[in-house]
Structure 1
Amino acid sequence: MFSLKALQKNKTFRYGVPMLLMVTGGSFGLREFAQIRYDAQKLNKKLDPSLEAKVNVETQSVMLELEFEKMKDANLDDWKNIRGPRPWENSREYQDQQRMKTTPES
């Protein structure tokens, strides 16, 4: 049988086992500290109940079918792509020019 002296001289037992214990123990400890961090973030993100109810109602009222109906009724055949003004262009002047080009001439 192995004696205690033989185990103390064994490099695996002397260095490997403590290393494995530190790695596995460290992962569990890190998990606990990370959980504290996420719990604190969750507490800070709490919304006012009235605001939270309003947000939930807004997200539920937007349905894909309703948006589809809005887009179906839109006239997409008569649109024209108008670019915005460049930073060096006068935006008001450029918008007036574009409006003149796009208005139907009688």
Structure 2
Amino acid sequence: MFNLKSLRRNKTVKYGVPMLLLVVGGSFGLREFTQIRYDAQKIRKRLDPSLEAKVNVQKQSVILEEEYEKIKEMNLDEWKNIRGPRPWEDSREYQEQQRRKLSNKD
């Protein structure tokens, strides 16, 4: 009886132990909830098997030399660098201006 009364009065047992249980138990609970989140994201990101096969084939078939040959065949001398519209400019109006400039130069 004496030990039980002294434990009830002890501040460490009264406040510290529940706090410690809350912190440790909370970390385990959060781990479970975050695991559910990551599992759901993994399921959502899965592709259709036929589409995934196409993507994998395309990734494997890219060869650096072939890409270099494609770029080498392009005519880069007549290439024009046209900047996009600024946020305050009307994009359609700016595109029309750029098209008129290009057609006048040709």
**TM-score scaled by length of structure 2:** 0.66
In the TM superposition, structure 1's runs of 4+ consecutive aligned residues that sit over 6 Å from their partners are: none
Query: Aligned partners of 2:83, 2:43: CA distance in 1, in Å?
Result: 45
Question: CA 1:34/1:92 → structure 2, altered by over 3 Å: closer, same or farther?
Answer: same
**Counterpart position of 2:51:** 51
CA deviations over 1:58-103 (Å, ceiling 9, x no partner): 233335x3476258625555543334676363745751431331x3
Q: Which runs of 5+ in 2 are unaligned?
A: none
Q: How many residues are treated as equivalent by the alignment?
A: 100
Question: CA 1:22/1:57 → structure 2, altered by over 3 Å: closer, same or farther?
Answer: same
**Counterpart position of 1:97:** 101
CA deviations over 1:27-77 (Å, ceiling 9, x no partner): 1011112212222332233221110111122233335x3476258625555
The secondary structure found in structure 1 opposite 2:99 is helix
Which structure exhibits the higher relative contact order, with contacts defined as CA atoms closer than 8 Å and separated by 6 or more residues? 1
For the 8 Å contact 1:7–1:13, the answer to whether it is kept is yes
Corresponding letter in the other structure for 1:17: V
For the 8 Å contact 1:8–1:14, the answer to whether it is kept is yes
Question: How is 1:23-42 mapped onto 2 (pairs within 5 angstroms)?
Answer: 23-42=23-42
Query: Aligned partners of 1:5, 1:71: CA distance in 2, in Å?
Result: 86
- Normalized per residue, the structure richer in helix is 2
The secondary structure found in structure 1 opposite 2:93 is coil
Q: Percent identity?
A: 60
What's the RMSD between the two structures over aligned residues?
Answer: 3.2
- Indicate the larger mover: 36-45 or 14-23: 36-45
- Indicate the larger mover: 74-83 or 4-13: 74-83
